[in-house]
Amino acid sequence: MSDLQHLIEGYRRFHGNYFAAEGQQLFAELMLGQRPSTLVIACSDSRVDPAIVMDCKPGDLFVVRNVANLVPPYEKGGGYHGVSAALEFAVCALAVEHIIVLGHRQCGGIKALFEGIPEGLEGEFIKPWVNMANRAADRVRAEHPYATDDEKLCHCEMAGILVSLENLRTFPFIQSRLEQNQLKLHGWYFDIVSGAMRAYRDESLKFEPLIA
């Protein structure tokens, strides 16, 4: 088992440096309530932290993280709908103005979707979760039959973002705010190898560089 001491020391540095220098006043203000303008739906992958990638402070982002940054389609009824509950809270209670689905290169969840669950991980939960993005894999196989395996995975990672954007529009409270121009949806793709960020453009129907 790995030693947690580096996490304890990390907290010590946070409390002694950041919190003491500027965080104390910030957290005193945040104690009165949060007003993030943006909800980020990101992958649980340890290599892609939205707050670090976007250089944000506490209070800037409302973040949901799960395997492969997936959004399930809207479903009525009871059950444990963690992502749906977070969407409802962010949109209806916090009134966020933007939702970013943040995917990334070398996503293990999308690889499991496209290539199959690795041996030893055939448990109860991963396969049905990633399979909600099956149409992303189907699109890539149909549209990029001659691409290399690595290229197909990259295409599938981006197609998975589009599936989540499509599923976001199935939520009535999101669709109504889109129609009233109170909310905007964005699909971003982070390349952990190069550090480049690409954003999906409705005009070109492609992922293009976020910044010049």
Q: How do the domains of the chain map onto residue ranges?
A: 1-33, 36-209
175: enclosing H helix or E strand? helix 172-179
Sign of CA dihedral 166, 168, 172, 173: negative
User: Class assignment of domain 36-209?
Assistant: alpha beta
How far apart, in whole angstroms, are the C-alpha atoms of residue 167 and residue 161? 10
Q: Which residues of 63-78 are buried (b: 16+ CB within 10 A; e: fewer)?
A: bbbbbbbbbbebeeee
Distance (Å, rounded) from C-alpha 38 to C-alpha 23?
A: 21
Length of the chain: 212
Distance CA 130, CA 101 (A): 15
Q: Which of 54, 57, 12 is nearest to 30 (CA)?
A: 57
> Max alpha carbon distance in the chain (Å)?
56
Q: Is the separation of the CB atoms in 122 and 128 below 8 Å?
A: no
Question: Is-contact 69 157, C-beta < 8 A?
Answer: no
- Given a contact cutoff of 8 angstroms between Cβ atoms, the answer to whether 126 and 112 are in contact is yes
**pLDDT values of the chain reduced to their tens digit, one per residue, 212 residues:** 568 999 999 999 988 888 888 778 888 888 889 999 999 999 999 999 999 999 999 999 999 999 999 999 999 876 889 999 999 999 999 999 999 999 999 999 999 999 998 777 777 899 999 999 999 999 999 999 999 999 999 999 999 999 999 999 999 999 999 999 999 999 999 999 999 999 999 999 999 999 97
